[in-house]
Structure 1
Amino acid sequence: MRTLYVVTHPEATHHVEGVVGGWHDSRLTPTGIRAAASIAQALRAQIPDGAEADRFSSDLQRTRQTTEQVAELFGVNPILDHRLREKSYGVAEGKPQEWLDRRFVPPPPVGERMDHDEGVEGAETKAEWAQRIYTAMDEILQRPREHQIIVTHGGSLTFVVASWIRMPIESAGYASFRAPSGSITTLREDDFFHNRQVVSLGDTHHLDPAP
């Protein structure tokens, strides 16, 4: 049986500054660093001692900082992969969110959505974004491990899950699997039917303050 634990990085500076994230290389806030430690503890509680656990992470600072907390408890060096980054917003990255909001062209309700031009220079299309996540996931799943941890971003989680359930990439234009910052999504494949479950989506119980 294979279980994937997909972590969305916790609070980062671009969240509190109100600027566009994407490939803007923001860092975790002090609140985010504390949340990353809670994420690591939650994963340690779910993965048996002595079990091998692959660890993959986006290479941006906020995800690297998150996965460093996990490393302290698991002692496994992460594989940093730029393909697990958030969507690139081109020239909008690091600018105020309202700057992007004024220029953003939403996709049509019907018709072409994956290659839709959002009106922001240098931004990835949804198709480009999805393709790199799907390719990274294909390589991750070729590795024979019972436990795998993936640290990524809130937007990219959609395509991690879509890839996991083998949604055709051309059908992913309407997909949206939303999860809060600092959440853990658990995905599991059984050994008999090889069905792929979404066991939990965006769990944040580990972030609840202790009573």
Structure 2
Amino acid sequence: MQTTEIFLIRHGETDWNKEKRLQGHLDIPLNAEGFLQAQALRAGLSEVALDAVFSSDLLRARQTAEPLTMANGLTLQIDSDLRERCFGVMEGMRRPEIAERFPLDFAALNNRDLDVRYPAGVNVAETLSEFSARAIGALQRIVRNTRHRRVAIVSHGGVLDCFYRHAENIDLRQARDFDIFNASINRFTWNGTQLRLIEWADVSHLNAISLDEVDR
């Protein structure tokens, strides 16, 4: 079977990332740093001939993905199942506020309880089990329905967490002991039956932004 190389990318920085607010399904755009990161991604992958670019439908992911599609002369393929997990009423809040207002739900969040559904807010929350099934289902649909050899998938921290655990066979309930960086490049392969992790949390392409800031 054909092997598909997957470049899994977390969206660039947003103001809510800096403020450590849960974003979930709320549609927050990239900030100025995030746009710089999106351009750095384009440069960092300039020698990779992508056959397709897939993205969550949320703005912060699409804005990160668009430079990659332009560089490769592609049309961005939107998949809403690549969205971040929905956290219901907790979306838009920082963790201290959640702990104060919703202590039981905050405990469930920290404990990675699989089947707890947080109170609804603007959006109806997903359980962790539901979210993981959606995210992994999107990945499997993409790789099984494509003949492309190299694809980029631009998504969110929670989705990257699910993919990492799926490839490494790590229980969803286990505390996370790996980093997930904005605009990071994470490489996997799919051989038709198995997802394999090749490289995780590569942010070397973002060094150019730091150099530019020093120059300014």
TM superposition score category, shorter chain reference? 0.7 to 0.9
Q: Aligned-pair RMSD on alpha carbons?
A: 2.6
Closer, same or farther: CA 196–96 of 1 in aligned 2, 3 Å: closer
Q: Secondary structure at the match of 1:162?
A: helix
Rounded Cα–Cα distance in structure 2 between residues aligned with 1:128 and 1:198: 23
The unaligned stretches of length 5 or more in structure 1 are none
How many pairs align? 199
Q: CA deviation at 1:182?
A: 1.2
Query: Aligned partners of 1:107, 1:25: CA distance in 2, in Å?
Result: 21
Q: Does 1:183 align with 2:181?
A: no
Amino acid at match of 2:76: P
1:145 corresponds to 2:144: no
* Structure 2 counterpart of 1:30: 32
Scaled by the length of structure 1, what TM-score is found?
Answer: 0.83
- Asked if 2 retains the 8 angstrom alpha-carbon contact of 1:154 and 1:178, the reply is no
Query: Are residues 144 and 166 of structure 1, via their aligned partners in 2, closer, same or farther at CA, if it must alter by over 3 Å?
Result: farther
Are 1:4 and 2:6 matched, yes or no?
Answer: yes
**How far apart in 1 are the matches of 2:196 and 2:93?**
38
Q: CA deviation at 1:195?
A: 6.1
Determine if contact 1:158/1:178 at 8 Å carries over to the other structure.
no
Contact 2:85 2:158 in 1 (8 A): yes
Residue identity matched to 2:205: H
Partners of 1:73 and 1:180 lie apart in 2 by 23
Match of 1:64 in 2: 62
> What TM-score do the two structures reach when normalised by structure 2?
0.81
Task: Return the offset for 1:205.
Answer: 0.5
Residue pair 1:157, 1:178 contacting (<8 A) in 2 also: no
Distance, in Å, in 1 between the alignment partners of 2:76 and 2:94 is 32
- In the other structure, the counterpart of 2:159 is 156
Tell me the CA shift for residue 75 of structure 1.
1.4
**Residue 205 (structure 1) aligned with residue 212 (structure 2):** no
1:156 counterpart SS class:
helix
- Superposed CA deviations along residues 169-192 of structure 1, whole A, max 9, x for unmatched, are xx433274531111010112469x
Shift of 1:136: 0.5
Query: For 2:46, what is the secondary structure of its paired residue?
Result: helix
Residue ranges of structure 2 left out of the alignment (5+ in a row): none
Contact 2:24 2:84 in 1 (8 A): yes
